[in-house]
Structure 1
């Protein structure tokens, strides 16, 4: 839907400018719009928020209904901890911790690096973060995983703190929320 709306806006914009413009100016306008759309698509591809929200909402419903075994299964989509013996408080804690980390990794950090380095910064961040999550520190490819994990730690220093600050402000602004917890 958004792509169609963007295409319609581009068409209207170009069509209204063509009659009073030279062909070169119109071509420059089309190129500028195409580059802008490409940049939007590149940045959008570096963001991962929809699945995170979906899994979080599913987890909230399971916890509200006290469906603990199902909630334990669902937690494995959010983090790598063993949920076998977790009670409801630990499931809530694991969910919130995972959401905070994934909010930083999937949304705040790519936007941060977009602001700092442009669309390639957002995509570069996503590459390093994906290498860390797929290869990580230990295992068969530890020689390859350790540098990517350390680089991921380094490039997440500022975004993780921005995320923590934003979540703290949101908690403080939410009625009946214990921000200290």
Structure 2
């Protein structure tokens, strides 16, 4: 039996906060923090921070669809973000912190579009859902110190989460 892994790529603001929720699922093989969606090849963090590359901070998840479905991963993605904010996420402002679902095939595109439409129709939010659904582009892994940040720097990670407002938003809208 050969394992057949697939990719899921999401932008949800600071990539530090987008790793841990997915890392805890059976069937998720790896999560890489990185940059995608822009027009600068092989960008570095300083370029991304400046907001001029067109790239999003994103995570690329390698998963086993026999264990965890794309739909499950997609549903979990929505629960991590404010899908109504066109200018970033929580205290992270700028185009590099916008939200987007990057699909790798037509099935992912259809599932993403259906889930976005369902969220719009739920009337959970009074503002429009602005999360984009985009074709996956080249993904550039971030620098090593960004990988698994929540494990390597648990105190700084927790402080950043607490200061960002992300947890309060999630608690208010998603729980």
Bucket of the pairwise TM-score, normalised by the shorter protein:
under 0.3
Q: Which has the higher contact order (CA 8 A, sep 6+)?
A: 2
More strand by share: 2
More helix by share: 1
TM-score (norm 2): 0.27
TM-score (norm 1): 0.26
